[in-house]
Homo-oligomer: A and B are copies of this chain.
Amino acid sequence: MPLSPEQEAEIEELRARRAATLRPVSPGLEAHLYKAHPVLDHGFVRVIDYMGDDAAIVQAARVSYGKGTKSVSNDEGLIRYLMRHWHSTPFEMCEIKLHVKLPIFVARQWIRHRTANVNEYSARYSILDREFYIPSPEALALQSTQNNQGRGAPLDPEAAARVLEILKADAARAYDHYEEMVDRIGLARELARMNLPANIYTQWYWKIDLHNLLHFLRLRADPHAQYEIRVYAETIGKLVADWVPMTWRAYQELRGGAVAVVRQALGCLRRMFAG
């Protein structure tokens, strides 16, 4: 369970508060606000705030004085036009802020996306919790023989058991030693943390505009992405679908999975033509 009862209560308190606003509101995303969507064994994604909706994209593209929209079908057409021709600036006019809890080795891939704002929980200032990502047995796989940076066939049960035994024992020992160094010896937290393995969980607030978020999703929900970040991308994708449904449809059709398949076919054709 990723959340403590106190944290659940804090979230409930936030969801009970309701205020009037003149700003555009996305009903689909309001339904998710503050709630923790579980990912992996202890992780989650929470929407903390957002700005804009499908109509805001249209409004920005038209540099409009009012709502900017003419009719729903017009709006969808314009959004598809913008997506098809890589007019990225109107999509940058929407923004989302997430609270994410994730293993450190996932965080290190994630942070490579530089056009975003991040506020991470500080292990210099605070003490990390005893929470480690331990893969489910099905997630354990052999090094791929085709893809130098991927995984292939699943591990046999015995090997999987041995890996899980190692991961659990090392995590427990590392955390015991972390506690000993911080609590009993009084070692500075900024030093003690160096002993903790990369599957310990951290958390951060992460804010990004819709254009850059779609780029993040395109790379991280891709089948070549590591499974442990892909499940975060997939969770966020569902939130985006509820936030800006027109944009999500246009993205799926013009950039997302289906297109990737066609492109692969195109690659085959190209190689055929080349002999």
Contact partner of A170 (CB less than 8 A), chosen from B56, B61, B174, is B174
- In the complex, are the beta carbons of A14 and B10 less than 8 A apart? no
Residues of B near A186 (CB, < 8 A) are 142-143, 155, 159
Nearest chain B residue, comparing its CB with the CB of A32:
B22
Measured between beta carbons, the chain B residues less than 8 angstroms from A99 are 63, 65
Minimal Cβ-Cβ distance residue in B for A116: B114
Residues of B within 8 A of A112 (CB): 89, 111, 118
- Contacting residues, chain B, for A190 (C-beta < 8 A): 149-151, 226
User: What residues of B have a CB within 8 angstroms of the CB of A159 in the complex?
Assistant: 185-187
Q: Is A216 an interface residue (CB 8 A)?
A: no
Distance between Cα atoms of A258 and B55 in the complex (Å): 35
- Complex contact A166–B188 (CB within 8 A): no
The interface-forming segment of A70-78, A195-203, A234-242, A243-251 is A195-203
Q: How many copies does the complex hold?
A: 4
Contact of A33 among B22, B61, B162 (CB under 8 A): B22
Interface 1/0s, chain A 167-179, versus B by CB < 8 A? 1001001100100
Known: A50-B51, A63-B121. A196 touches B195 (CB 8 A): no
Given B11, B60, B149, B196, which contacts A205 in the complex, CB threshold below 8 Å?
B60
**Residues A108 and B105 in contact, CB atoms below 8 Å apart:** no
B142-A125 in contact (CB<8A): no
10 cross-chain pairs, A with B, having the tightest CB-CB distances, nearest first: A10-B66, A151-B188, A92-B117, A194-B199, A124-B149, A51-B51, A114-B114, A7-B65, A19-B25, A125-B149
Beyond A89-B117, A155-B187, 19 additional pairs, beta carbon < 8 A: A3-B65, A10-B64, A18-B21, A19-B23, A22-B30, A22-B33, A49-B56, A52-B97, A63-B99, A63-B203, A92-B117, A105-B194, A112-B118, A125-B149, A142-B187, A152-B188, A174-B174, A195-B198, A198-B198
